[in-house]
Chains A and B, each alone.
Chain A
Amino acid sequence: MMRREQPKSFNTIPVKERLTITRQSMPEQDAGERSANFLEVNLGLTPKQAVIEAQRCIECKNPTCMEGCPVSIKIPDFIQLICNEDFLGAANKIKEDNSLAAVCGRVCPQETQCEEVCVVGKRFEPVAIGRLERFVADYALKHGNGSINGVEKPKPSGQKVAIVGSGPAGLAAASDLIKEGHEVTVFEALHEFGGVLVYGIPEFRLPKAILRKEVANLETMGVKFVKNFIVGRTMSIQELMEDEGYDSVFLGLGAGLPRFMNIPGENLNGVYSANEFLTRSNLMRGYEFPEWDTPLYRAKHAIIVGGGNTAMDAVRTAKRLGADEASIVYRRSEEEMPARNEEIHHAKEEGVEFMNLVNPIEFIGDDEGNVVTARCLRMELGEPDDSGRRRPVPMEGSEFTMDVDMVVIAVGNGSNPLIAQTTPEITTNKWGNIVADEDGRTSMEGVFAGGDIVSGGATVILAMGAGRNSAAAINEYLKTKVWSVA
């Protein structure tokens, strides 16, 4: 691998002293206050804090942080620009590799990516790369445009690419493809752009205004956005290519088929999939009912089944909607929880209860079909299963019941069957995921796929990485028109 050139240093503090600077903490909205509103929890570093945090970087000769980033942001470079207080320059440096920096600075699990492999982090707390990313991205959104500065409009290639789905995979692919001069159109089934970023992630973690600005930036760069358009129903992939003249199609559909537990009582009123509960709250602004039309339960005793980030988003939403008790019910222990530590920590601060090693086995309703009781078992951990985590086993005689008036099932997503139903040319596996090679090539010539529809439920940044990979492969395909599936 080619050695990268070391970025110009602007850090005047001797290396030894840098290690004595403490990691700058994220200013937050007070827990008591924020558990009753939907405003953003994290407030962002101050410019002064950002410079101090950037000065903690020891400018390793062989930095590993970049390897931890699925889209290979030039982390050492942008950190030096922050040391020089060139925040716009730093934002533009990130934009070279990531068109959604303000989003990723908020929702990426940096602790298991760039920050996990940060050399400072081996003995001290790692440099807060995510907080710095967020700081410069927000700065750029506020002060001038972080996306098109200094980027000349590329020469039109005369080629058309359709992106299906405006979630993280699609937006990342669109951003890379528009820079190559292709005509890029993003088709979205819903009435707002952003996919899971708009329907799944709550306002208090990712304000819609931030997302809208990122989408507007892509529009300024020339990407066309079409909403209320379901590829497979409104128009087929074949029609897009044959009648509408698209030379290539990228499918970034997302997972998008909620899993249930298949236990009795799951269809009672008040039992939601996490997707529905969060979509009603986030996309449809159900928390502003009746000012907004979409109704949403304001439960007193809510349980959320699951231990991922989606479960944390749902339980914190339930709390904000006024629940006296909002509890996580998770069949393993906190150690196995897939949610980010920050989310678990925030949830606890906001008064969320954690009932770990508990699994519901039935929901019971009243005469009108409203859920009123959850029957549960206590679990203990046995031998590790296929996932490497210790398998939860029911404890004999441990059954108990709980009064509930809302249940949210957050146990993951299957894949949406729409494309498989309408496009038999595209091969799917037994889980319904689209089969694609590492560059996203599907079994249909010119059609690529990436993100959750290929990998199954994963993270925003992994979907963006897949979108970028496919964008590179699409570029290559449009140049050569050679279709080679490995």
Chain B
Amino acid sequence: MYRIIKAEFIAPNVKSFLIEAPHIAKKRQAGQFVILRVHDKGERIPITIADSNPDEGWINIIVQGLGKTSAHLNTLETGDHLQDLVGPLGLPTHIENWGTLVCISGGVGTAEALPIAAAGKAAGNRVISIIGARNKDLLIAEGQMEEVVDEVRISTDDGSAGRHGLVTDVLKDLMDEGVTPDMIVAIGPLPMMAAVSNQTEAMEIPTMVSLNAIMVDGTGMCGACRATVGGKTVFVCVDGPEFDGHQVDFKELGMRQKMYKKQEAESHKCFLERQMKKVKAEQLAEGVG
């Protein structure tokens, strides 16, 4: 069992966990992920490691409660335990001094982009961060990002913070101002990564994306995480998770991510019903007491 040292919400429905995992903390490099199970009947889900501390022996993950498993995970508190945790998995991010590096992130992707931005800065790059969110409340890690990069720009869909618009609009602004990125890293929801890759392909700016695919074992054994990159099938878990955004078949990956849409909805409903029963039982018990 893997103890949760600290669990706290950092945005609505977004929780940050510090988890005791000394072996993983020692080995982990930027861009790698873990696979975890929340309980003994749980599924295995991959989550990018946002941060780690080898001296204190913990890793940090940021979880947005979207489906059954992430919602269940976000009910766990400080002192609780995960059923299973394994890693670090995947190939580490390739970092070099490209010149100007633009890190574009959306949603919880910002927490995952943070270590890459920091490593890019350490390698000598000028690093500009573009952070996108639906609204002001859903922005995460922008303060930490400000500490490690040269400049942070924000966009929100509703204009409640930063520029009213999308991350691609901010990238365009940047280029209009005369900034020419040598390298772009995009991490976040698939449509965002697809839009950025589409935009930069025309401008011939190398773009790396971090793919999130459905996985089971995470070690190359099952092939659930297949994606098409440059016309070839890759396994995201062992060949990635980072790939050349201009080569990725985003349409196929988008459909593959929805493979269990129906089952996921069913599972989520069952979970919510069970939670509701639990709450009612507790209320009843309190009422009697």
Interface set of A (CB-CB < 8 Å, partner B): 189-191, 199, 227-230, 233-235, 254, 256-258, 260, 262, 266-267, 269-270, 272-273, 275-276, 279-280, 284-285, 288-295, 368-369, 416-418, 421
Contact = CB atoms under 8 A, between A and B. Distances in A.
Chain B interface, DSSP helix/strand/loop, else mixed: mixed
A275 B221 contact: yes
A256 B260 contact: no
Nearest to A269: B259
Interface in B13-43: 23-24, 27, 37, 41-43
B221 A229 contact: no
A163 to B, nearest CB: 17
A284 B220 CA distance: 16
20 contacts: A227-B84, A233-B89, A234-B86, A234-B87, A256-B220, A257-B221, A262-B233, A266-B226, A269-B256, A276-B216, A284-B44, A288-B41, A289-B267, A292-B41, A293-B42, A294-B43, A294-B44, A295-B260, A416-B221, A417-B238
A291 B41 contact: yes
A369 B217 CA distance: 23
Contacts of B89: 230, 233
B266 interface: yes
B146 interface: no
Contacts of A276: 216, 222-224
A233 B27 CA distance: 8
Contacts of A266: 226, 233
Interface string B199-229: 0000000000000000011011111101110
Contacts of B83: 191
A195 to B, nearest CB: 10
Given A266-B233, A275-B222, A291-B41, A369 B263 contact: no
B96 interface: no
A269 B133 CA distance: 30
B272 to A, nearest CB: 12
Contact of B84 (A228, A267, A295): A228
A191 B84 CA distance: 7
B69 interface: yes
A155 B86 CA distance: 34
Given A227-B84, A284-B43, A293-B42, A257 B220 contact: yes
A189 B217 contact: yes
Nearest to B235: A257
Given A233-B87, A235-B23, A285-B41, A369 B219 contact: no
A416 B84 contact: no
Contacts of A235: 23, 27
B172 interface: no
Interface residues of B, number: 41
Contacts of A290: 263, 266-267, 270
Q: Which of A235, A254, A273, A295 has the most CB of B within 10 A?
A: A295
Contacts of B120: none
Contacts of A284: 43-44, 216
A256 B219 contact: yes
B75 to A, nearest CB: 14
Contacts of A417: 220, 238
Q: Which of B89, B221, B233, B258 has the most CB of A within 10 A?
A: B221
B68 interface: yes
A279 B217 contact: yes
B63 interface: no
Interface string B235-255: 000100000000000001001
A227 B23 CA distance: 13
Interface in B78-107: 83-89
B264 interface: yes
A118 B256 CA distance: 51
Given A285-B41, A369-B252, A230 B223 contact: no
B255 A368 contact: yes
A285 B216 CA distance: 12
A221 B81 CA distance: 29
A257 B224 CA distance: 11
Contact of A293 (B24, B41, B87, B233): B41
Nearest to B86: A228
A191 to B, nearest CB: 4
B71 to A, nearest CB: 11
Contacts of B43: 284, 292-295
Contact of B222 (A227, A230, A269, A279): A279
Contacts of A228: 84-86
A417 B234 CA distance: 13
A256 B255 CA distance: 26
Contact of B219 (A189, A260, A280, A293): A189
B173 to A, nearest CB: 35
A234 B252 contact: no
Given A258-B221, A284-B43, A418-B238, 16 more contacts: A189-B217, A191-B37, A199-B221, A229-B86, A230-B89, A256-B219, A260-B223, A269-B255, A280-B216, A284-B44, A293-B41, A294-B43, A369-B252, A416-B219, A416-B220, A421-B238
Q: Which of A228, A234, A291 has the most CB of B within 10 A?
A: A228
B41 A267 contact: no
B262 to A, nearest CB: 9
Nearest to B270: A290
B228 A267 contact: yes
B86 A267 contact: no
